[in-house]
Amino acid sequence: MNILGIIKSIVVTSLFLVYPYLVYRGIESGMVWLAPAIFSGIYLFQAFAARTLKIRIYKALVAVALLVGTYYLQTVTAKVLPVLIQLFLMYFFGRTLLKGKGPSFIESFVRLEFPEIPPGISEYCRQLTIMWTGFFAFNALMCVVLAIWGTDFWWTLYNGMVIYLLIGVLVVGEYIYRHFRFPDLDIPDPQSTLKTMIGNGRKIWLDVQAR
């Protein structure tokens, strides 16, 4: 990925990370439409840049839905986007578990560090992919519950902080566990793994979309 692509990915990712806070501030200031309107523009831009017709249509539909929602159902539209994101991640990870759609999402990254997969790693990667698929499904459910029955504060806290804390716990916990699961395996350090994921994330993402 070139420098411009990396910068663009960082900017978009940062906007997604602060999205719950933007919604919360928008609700307080009477400008709840602003956050969904911004992301409508992002999805529309991504629709034009998409490589496949399927992804282009999906991005365009999300952009139009967000734009329409900013006019008719502002608060509901603002709070539904995290649900869609979690469902998309659930689908994205889960589809690699289907027959003919492999390898699993986690294994796609592991293959970059281990050209020849050691015994037992493929199944372990599949188990991890199942775990993350379930995690995103749980998050989608919590987002719906908090959007309907929770306060704006608790919705923002969960989407803007708790989800990322849970992700951190899962990542650190898995990294520690894998050393016990595979004591004889030369496991790359976190810095090397992170570098591999950043450098090849978009390639893997596009590859999974094309399956």
> 40-56, pLDDT tens digit by residue?
988 888 888 877 787 88
% pLDDT > 70, the chain: 93
Task: Please check the confidence at residue 4 and state whether its pLDDT lies above 70.
Answer: no
| 80-108 average pLDDT score | 90
Res. 10: pLDDT tops 80: no
CB distance 96 to 108 below 8 Å: yes
Domain count, the chain: 1
Question: What pLDDT is stored for residue 5 in this prediction?
Answer: 63
Banded pLDDT at 145 (limits 50, 70, 90): very high
Confidence (pLDDT) at 158: 96
Cα gap 25→196, rounded to integer Å: 36
- 113 and 196 Cβ atoms separated by less than 8 Å: yes
Domain that includes residue 50, residue range: 3-210
Mean pLDDT (whole number) for 95-116: 86
Residues 6+ apart with CB under 8 A from 153: 24
Q: Give pLDDT, residue 177.
A: 94
Distances in whole angstroms, Cα of residue 168 to Cα of each of 117, 126, 185, 208 = 26, 20, 23, 24
Mean per-residue pLDDT of the chain: 86
Distance CA 89, CA 144 (A): 16
Exposed, middle or buried by CB within 10 Å (0-12, 13-18, 19+), for 180? exposed
**CA 112, 106, 188, 178: dihedral to nearest 10 degrees?**
-150
Residue pair 46/37 in contact by the 8 Å Cβ criterion:
no
Q: CA-based Rg of the chain, rounded to a whole angstrom? A: 19
* 195: number of Cβ within 10 Å: 12
pLDDT at 2: 60
Per DSSP, helices labelled H in the chain are: 3-29, 34-49, 53-72, 74-95, 105-113, 121-149, 152-157, 163-181, 190-210
pLDDT of residue 18: 87
Residue 211 has pLDDT above 80, yes or no: no
